[in-house]
Structure 1
Amino acid sequence: MKEKFLIWDLDDTIITTYPEFEKSNTLCAEIISRELFGDVLQVNDILNRQRMIDISLIEKYGFLPPRYEQSWLTTSAEYFKEHGMMSNDALQQEIKEVVQDIYIRKYENVPGSVEVIQQLKNEGYSMAILTAGDEAVQKRRIEQSGVAEFMDETYVYPYKTPSTLRTVMDRHGHNEYAMIGNSLKSDIYPALENEIMGIHVVRDTWQADHYEIDLAHPLYKPVQDLSEIPNVLSESKEFTFK
């Protein structure tokens, strides 16, 4: 029997991205609020509007940069229209610069991510990364994180589904798999649908990651810290991986 194959999510599993998006979101909301109202008192309302628009655009754009930028430009246009004003070019450019910065900045690693991945590699696990987003952006982030050398392969899709996970599994032909990630919808649901272990790295995250799953499923393994993963794997030999 071939060794277990671990498939890792990237964002908010290996590197920390959600707090960075929240910072950029707040900056964009403040830009709009100050221009329209002269203060930042409307920031929360603007943030709520953008989140709904952003999620509504996932089906069209996936998790690619144009979706995020469009969500903020649409939010800005709606607010200005509702208040009888026209959004000026300078303001739109300021928003675009804030949005684009999210794709070029360097992100901090989740504490312990490199150390845990190196430990698992030393223990004989083969690994790959399956992430959603722009291929060039995501592969640069993987290189910057320092985990590329431990991975057999990296896969980038506009979004992740049970079928994309199955595609990755079929390319490697192992007998045992586990998916490790923070998103119930993009990581754990696909794992359980494919009858493989889903190790859920519990994190605060945005609505698009939420999903109703069977928390009593024997292949659902929640962890609060990455350091728990080696023990979860070693103690779960009684579970059948498909």
Structure 2
Amino acid sequence: MGTKVSTIAFDADDTLWQNEAFFRLTQDRFADLLADFADPDHLADRLLAAERRNIGHYGFGVKGFTLSMIETAIEVTEEQVPASVIRELIAAGQEMLAHPIHLLPHAAETVIQLAEAHEILLITKGDLLDQERKLAQSGLGELFDGVHVVSNKTAQTYLTAFADTGPEAAVMVGNSLKSDVIPALEAGSWAVHVPHELTWAYEHADTPLAHSRFRKIPHLGALPGLVAEFEQM
């Protein structure tokens, strides 16, 4: 018999509910507003560069994204961006913060099923207030035994989150190889990759195919069966 899985942790954005799609829509709006100053591809590269620079200042989430859009708009217009455009970008960020939650397929039933016999955690990056809002609106909040909103995900993040049961008895589930999979494997837990059709370029990484504790599933509906397999290994 294998080690019993005691803890199952989920990423939030683009694992349990849609997120990146709203960022892409806002980025398209950003490109339209700045169309007279930069072509869309160049603007997207500049925005990504600003986001990378600013993560250490603002963290992950809508607020940092909005500030990076404003910074990029100032840069590409050589400080000539109209105040009306800045106002539109602020409004776009506010709309993102108020956007209703859309759960991904199988999210609710999978979390409900696994919560019957496991400790369930949410481990996510982003703005604390925004993630708390989304979790509350998702209808899943009461199923989680713990919620960790962190500035970044490292092996130490998972060692801390899984301290009670040990990482070898924990599973981390998420759409990001960089944040959800690789550091969880480094901590000694199982890591399950659930790809999303839209993934922010910052979260891209090589797939650790050779790692014995790495698995990939097409959707969350396959997770309960996989957890059962882990317990037989």
TM over 0.5: yes
| Partner SS for 2:230 | coil
| Partner SS for 1:231 | helix
| Partner SS for 1:217 | coil
Q: Does 1:97 align with 2:91?
A: yes
Q: CA deviation at 1:141?
A: 0.4
The 5 Å alignment of 1:87-166 reads 87-122=81-116, 124-166=117-159
Q: CA deviation at 1:64?
A: 4.1
Structure 2: runs of 5+ lacking an equivalent:
none
Q: CA deviation at 1:132?
A: 0.7
Which residue type is aligned with residue 91 of structure 2? E
Q: Partners in 2 of 1:110 and 1:64 — Cα distance? A: 19
Aligned to 2:185, which of 192, 198, 205? 192
Q: Partners in 2 of 1:121 and 1:102 — Cα distance? A: 30
State TM-score, norm by structure 1. 0.88
Identity rate, percent = 26
Q: Does 1:236 align with 2:230?
A: yes
Structure 1: runs of 5+ lacking an equivalent:
none
Q: Does 1:29 align with 2:26?
A: no
CA RMSD of aligned residues (A): 1.9
Q: Partners in 2 of 1:212 and 1:60 — Cα distance? A: 26
Paired residues in the alignment total: 229
The 5 Å alignment of 1:78-89 reads 78-81=75-78, 86-89=80-83
Q: Does 1:17 align with 2:19?
A: yes
Q: Partners in 2 of 1:61 and 1:135 — Cα distance? A: 12
User: Larger RCO: Structure 1 or Structure 2 (Cα < 8 Å, ≥ 6 residues apart)?
Assistant: 2
The 5 Å alignment of 1:220-235 reads 220-235=214-229
Q: Partners in 2 of 1:117 and 1:108 — Cα distance? A: 15
Q: CA deviation at 1:59?
A: 3.0
In the alignment, which residue of structure 1 is the partner of 2:68?
71
Aligned to 2:165, which of 157, 167, 173? 173
